Amino acid sequence: MSETEQIAKLSEVSWISDLMSERLSASGDTTGIPYYHFRWKKKWLADYVAWPKTNEQVSSILKYASKKKIPIVARGGGTCYYGSASPTRGGIVVDTKSMDCILDINKDEGWVRVGAGAVWEILDNELAKQGFTTPVKPQSGVASTLAGWLSIGGKAGIGTPKYGSMVDNVFEMEVVRPDGTIETVAGDEMLPFFGTVGIAGVVTSIKMKIIPVPETTEGLMFAFQDLERAIDAVNRLSKTKTPPIYLRLTDLEYEWRIQGGLPPETTGLFFVLVTYSGETAEVEESLKTARGIFEVAKGMEMQKSYYEKNWDDRFIVEMKLKLEVPTLSMQNFWIPLDHIGPIVKRMYKIASKYRINSCFYLVLGRPNKARLCVFAPSDHRNWMHFMSGKSMLHKLVKTMYRGGGELYTFGLQNTVYIKRYQKNDYKRFKEIRNKWDPDGLMNPDKLTRCNMSYTRLNLMFTMNGYFRRLQVVLRRAKNILQIPVSYQEAMSR
Amino acid sequence: MRRFFTPELDVDPDMIVKCSNCSTCRWTCTSYEEFHSEAYFAGGRLRLLRSYVEKKLPIDDSFVRAVYACSTCEQCVERCPIKVPYVRIIEDVRKKLVQEGKGPYGKLHVMGDMAFQHNNVYGEDPLKRGDWVKPDTKISDDSEWGYFVGCTASYKRPEIADATLRMLNYFGIEPQILGADEYCCCSPLIRTGQCTRPIYEELEDGDKELLGNLDVEKFILHNVEEIEKRGIEHLVFSCSGCYRTTTLDWPKYYRERYGILPFSLQHLTQFLALKIKKGELEWKSGYPERVTYHDPCHLGRHVGVFEAPREVLRSIPDMEFVEMERNRENSVCCGAGGGFKAGFGENAVNVAERRLNQALDTGATTIVSSCVFCKLNFLDAVKKRNVNIKVLNIEDLFISLMGLG
Ligand SMILES: Cc1cc2nc3c(=O)[nH]c(=O)nc-3n(C[C@H](O)[C@H](O)[C@H](O)COP(=O)(O)OP(=O)(O)OC[C@H]3O[C@@H](n4cnc5c(N)ncnc54)[C@H](O)[C@@H]3O)c2cc1C
Ligand code: SF4
Ligand code: SF4
């Protein structure tokens, strides 16, 4: 079959497969226990997997699918949470990772045109050979793709406090509309593709900003006894003249789980890591300012080697939490820095009430707004414990909406919340869907429709909360992981 | 802990649920780079395994193929944030598939059949295993040094066996070799899950007759007994696969019942590096070329020998030694291990070709390795794809620079 020829029968196309192993492997994502979410999906298994290499091939699949009314799910690295890149009504999974070549590069104007399925790390390795790098990237950059991050909004990661979101770094994109039309979009025309999980079409190539590899990259890490002071430091650091490229706030349990404990002679319950890059003199100046801010907030400087260990682990920290537990439930929020305190405090309170583990980490997106990830490490084979973690996350979502903020990633499971709480976004997503994909074939059941009702969900988690409390009262609620002693003492104070 | 795995695929649930599906191990994976499908990298295979088990799906050919299209190179384990012991898991799965009669994949069973009948995986005459020894080299029957040759060097690449023997002779060692008493080390069998398996003969009328049971433990015990019987105290290896299996797998079968192995093991690169450290090696000539080193997975990532071969190469006069972009722990697999070459021949050559191109990117004119399998696969790529690079093993370099070849 030639590239532009219409697809008559999927099974005759060499780059499309219906083998069970291919369908299964392309139907999952980072969701820890796929079967827990089966009830959210009508058909969790893809019927076909396609590996197009060009936009013409993408176009031919989309034309075929729109004619035959077959659902399409674009798939990048599959690292997104909440079933974003997994099918809900079968159909064709379009694996974009074979569209990953550098198509053009202009070092004078500072841009690269690259296949949208390029993995960040591979792209950065290639750019580095020419002395360049991408200004922003997610912490899943070792596996995720450019279009994958773009499609979930790409707001907080490495580089974002200084260079902005993904949307600020893309000049132009080539896309295939749900009806198979190939188009080049720029400016506001690109917006329907940011954070909309592929409902407006499949992105096939991106022209994005590149910057010279910075002269120096250095940072600091400080420990705090007090959450308010740590947040205050983060707040101030986010507003400095030269913003950091990475700013992270974590708690003790998080550090404990990912690094196996703190360095000797370090105490603290909250930890702020800040990294700057640029010209050496500028970085030195920024570090001086940061140290001043930390000292005013009464932070305690941590060993350089501990900072370096954390910085080196920046692409794997989120997953390192799984070192000790088989199941990692998490929720992530996109919230103003001022609203973090109440959520974190509520998290500790509920976790202690339910006798479960919990921890958080926060990464600054842009001044005053951050991605807050709240984790409930568990083992789904201990069902009550696992569900209690989920209940806690549900309660925190409600707390978050009361205080102001939104969810960071929507995907499948969080669509239920946007429908209820983010009414304007829900309306916008519906408009995009109606305009570009009136048949609802592109990534169905995401953003605009949900198989689970909020009332049912709320009832389930509320009931679960009551049962767990009962277990605790009857002394039958065992925790999965030990909690660091100093932490327990401080939290109970 | 409740086991929720089907009898068909009984693997340790604690291991498998560890994988977070983060895909950090994907793009560096030997088989993903070749097949570009999520069923063909560690995280994807574990996802598959879990789906087959949780959904109680019947094992089909596509699953078996995916499970076997892996060179067990351990690049994924190196990358994994959680250190999921993927290779151990997949070897268990392969074992289970063989037990259930669903594996091994394709023609890989021939290796098991041949080993059962001829004690080597190539089906060669076991009595000719030592025929590679040339009259101008020396072996003995009372030395405390032994040389474990392996099936591939014995039958397919005798020049490697010869070079190794000459190297040992140069240092005054006349090692014992086991000859017909050396059985396969079992690396190809263990890697492909053929640890125990009934062996049948196809009769003319289409029926099958049971010949017996292949059991790697018997091979291992036989080898250990032969080595011990001959009073060998130090065993040298030229094959990284044999060395890995003897170091990591033999003790598993041997130790539980018989205690620790009664001899020490060293790879020839370690042997040479020690000689250099002791000042016992003076190169007779130099190698005035740009050279890069390819870490065999079995010697490097599996056993941790990264520096010894580099120390040897760096000591060679006039040589310009350069590293490839991916080296040591991050080295790329050559594509020959884990039954990949035997099961997916052309794909294995593609993998080797890519690695050779990475070597060429450094400007090197020679790629040196220290594994029989890597050399075999690289030479195939040179021949079939016309890659313009010299492929040598360290022992080849040794005998040529010392004027022993
Ligand atoms: C370890 C780890 C760290 C993470 N760190 C961060 C972080 O720092 N910041 C952050 O924001 N997120 C982070 N995430 C979440 C996730 O990795 C990101 O959202 C990631 O960018 C998703 O990219 P992907 O290529 O894996 O996309 P996928 O998961 O494959 O897809 C994501 C969504 O995009 C759609 N899509 C994919 N490709 C296309 C295309 N070509 N055209 C149209 N739609 C498409 C899919 O349908 C899906 O809805 C992290 C996740 C992990 C596992
Ligand atoms: S062992 Fe090698 S080939 Fe197999 S999955 Fe891991 S990286 Fe890929
Ligand atoms: S094996 Fe490790 S690196 Fe690979 S997907 Fe699983 S957790 Fe991630």
**pLDDT tens figures, B78-126:** 999 999 999 999 999 999 999 989 999 999 999 999 999 999 999 999 9
Residue closest to A50 by CA, chosen among A68, A32, A26: A26
**Cα(A241) to centroid(ligand 3), Å:** 39
Interatomic CA distance for residues A466 and A472, integer angstroms: 10
**What tokens appear for B400 in the block?**
């040529």
Residue closest to A447 by CA, chosen among A88, A160, A44: A88
Whether A326 and B18 lie within 8 Å, measured CB to CB: yes
A351 phi, psi to nearest 5 deg: -60, -40
Residue closest to A26 by CA, chosen among A48, A52, A56, A4: A48
Interatomic CA distance for residues A277 and A311, integer angstroms: 13
Residues 6+ apart with CB under 8 A from A212: A131, A132, A133
Q: What is the mean pLDDT of residues A266-271?
A: 91
Q: Examine the fold and report which residue of B49, B84, B99 is the final residue of a domain before the chain moves on.
A: B99
What pLDDT shows up at residue B5?
44
Task: List own/partner pairs for A350-353 with CB under 8 A and 24 or more apart.
Answer: A350/A391, A350/A392, A350/A395, A350/A396, A351/A376, A351/A392, A352/A491, A352/A492, A353/A469, A353/A472
- Residue with the smallest CA separation from ligand 2 atom 8 is B29
Q: pLDDT tens digits for A149-162? A: 999 999 999 999 99
Could you tell me the fold of the domain covering A102-212? 3.30.465
Q: Are B75 and A89 in contact (CB under 8 A)?
A: no
Pocket of ligand 2 (CB under 6 A): B 29-31, 41-42, 70-76, 86-87, 333
Q: Are A276 and A218 in contact (CB under 8 A)?
A: yes
* Residue A77 contacts B, CB cutoff 8 Å: yes
Atom of ligand 2 nearest to the CA of B31: 3
**Fold matches, A10-95 and A102-212:** no
Q: Examine the fold and report which residue of B99, B132, B167 is the final residue of a domain before the chain moves on.
A: B99
Q: Are A83 and A28 in contact (CB under 8 A)?
A: no
First to last CA, chain A: 70
CB-nearest to B36 from A20, A51, A144 is A51
CA A237 from chain center: how many Å? 23
The domain containing residue B81 runs over which residues?
4-99
Residue closest to A26 by CA, chosen among B30, B10, B36, B80: B36
Residue A260, pLDDT > 90, answer no
Q: Give A166 to chain B, closest Cα distance, Å.
A: 21
Of the pLDDT bands very low, low, confident and very high (cuts 50, 70, 90), residue A465 is: very high
Note whether residue B94 is domain-resident. yes
Residue closest to A132 by CA, chosen among A208, A214, A212, A209: A212
The CATH number linked to B19 is 1.10.1060.10
pTM confidence score: 0.94
Residue closest to A365 by CA, chosen among A276, A244, A282, A272: A244
Sequence letter at residue A488? Q
Q: pLDDT tens digits for B210-229? A: 999 999 999 999 999 999 99
* Residue A26 contacts B, CB cutoff 8 Å: yes
* Residue entry with tokens 């939104």: A406
What pLDDT shows up at residue A490?
62
ipTM value: 0.94
Q: What is the largest CA-CA distance in chain B?
A: 66
Residue ranges in B20-60 assigned as alpha helix (H): 30-35, 42-54
Sequence letter at residue B282? E
Q: Give A323 to chain B, closest Cα distance, Å.
A: 5
What pLDDT shows up at residue B2?
39
Residues 6+ apart with CB under 8 A from A81: A29, A30, A31, A330, A332, A409, A411
- Residue with the smallest CA separation from ligand 2 atom 7 is B29
Domain ranges of chain A: 10-95, 102-212, 216-313, 325-413+453-492
CB-nearest to A21 from B20, B54, B62 is B62
Interatomic CA distance for residues B109 and B105, integer angstroms: 7
CB-nearest to A143 from B22, B52, B63 is B22
Q: What is the number of CB-based contacts under 8 A between chain A and chain B? A: 105
Q: pLDDT tens digits for A71-124? A: 999 999 999 988 899 999 999 999 999 999 999 999 999 999 999 999 999 999
Q: Residues 373..412 of A with a Cβ closer than 8 Å to B: which?
A: 381
Contacts of A32 in chain B (CB under 8 A): 17, 20
Which residues in chain B come in under a pLDDT of 70? Answer: 1-13
Could you tell me the fold of the domain covering A10-95? 3.30.43
Strand, helix or coil at A285? helix
Rounding to the nearest 10 degrees, give the CA dihedral for residues B279, B284, B288, B292.
-50
Which ligand places an atom closest to the C-alpha of A411?
Answer: 1
How many domains in chain B? 2
Whether A322 and B81 lie within 8 Å, measured CB to CB: yes
Contacts of B51 in chain A (CB under 8 A): 24, 27-28, 34
What pLDDT shows up at residue B9?
60
Q: What is the mean pLDDT of residues A323-330?
A: 86
Instruction: Tell me which CATH code domain A325-413+453-492 carries.
Output: 3.30.300.330
Of the pLDDT bands very low, low, confident and very high (cuts 50, 70, 90), residue A483 is: low
Q: What residues in chain B have their Cβ under 8 A from chain A's Cβ atoms?
A: 1-2, 4, 14, 17-18, 20-24, 26-27, 36-39, 44-45, 47-48, 50-52, 54-55, 57, 60, 62-63, 65-66, 79, 81-83
What pLDDT shows up at residue B56?
80
CB-nearest to A25 from B2, B39, B60 is B39
Whether A78 and B17 lie within 8 Å, measured CB to CB: no
What pLDDT shows up at residue B3?
38
CA A448 from chain center: how many Å? 20
What pLDDT shows up at residue B52?
84
Helix (H) or strand (E) holding B234: strand B234-237
Question: Which residue(s) pair with A185 in the sheet?
Answer: A173
In angstroms and rounded to an integer, the radius of gyration of the C-alpha atoms of chain A is: 23
Q: Give B25 to chain A, closest Cα distance, Å.
A: 8
* Chain B nearest-CA residue for A75: B38
Q: What is the mean pLDDT of chain A?
A: 93
Q: Are A208 and A94 in contact (CB under 8 A)?
A: no
CA A228 from chain center: how many Å? 25
Contacts of B47 in chain A (CB under 8 A): 24-25, 28
Whether A28 and B51 lie within 8 Å, measured CB to CB: yes
* Residue entry with tokens 């002395």: A131
Q: Are A481 and A389 in contact (CB under 8 A)?
A: no
Atom of ligand 2 nearest to the CA of B71: 3
* Residue A460 contacts B, CB cutoff 8 Å: no
Residue ranges in A99-214 assigned as alpha helix (H): 120-128, 146-151, 160-163
Q: Are B337 and B73 in contact (CB under 8 A)?
A: yes
Strand, helix or coil at A341? helix
Quick one: angle between helices B158-170 and B268-277, nearest 10?
Answer: 30
**What tokens appear for A163 in the block?**
């260079």
Q: Examine the fold and report which residue of B99, B119, B141 is the final residue of a domain before the chain moves on.
A: B99
The CATH number linked to B381 is 3.40.50.1860
CB-nearest to B37 from A22, A77, A140 is A22
Q: Are A56 and A4 in contact (CB under 8 A)?
A: yes
Which of A24, A119, A315 to mutate to probe the B interface, most B CBs <10 Å? A24
Residues 6+ apart with CB under 8 A from B60: A20, A21
Query: Which CATH architecture does the domain made up of A216-313 adopt?
Result: 2-Layer Sandwich (3.30)
Quick one: angle between helices B216-229 and B250-258, nearest 10?
Answer: 70
Q: pLDDT tens digits for A353-411? A: 999 989 999 999 987 899 999 999 998 888 899 999 999 999 999 999 999 999 999 98
DSSP 8-state code for residue A369: E
**Cα(A29) to centroid(ligand 3), Å:** 12
**Cα(B23) to centroid(ligand 3), Å:** 5
- Residue with the smallest CA separation from ligand 1 atom 11 is A154
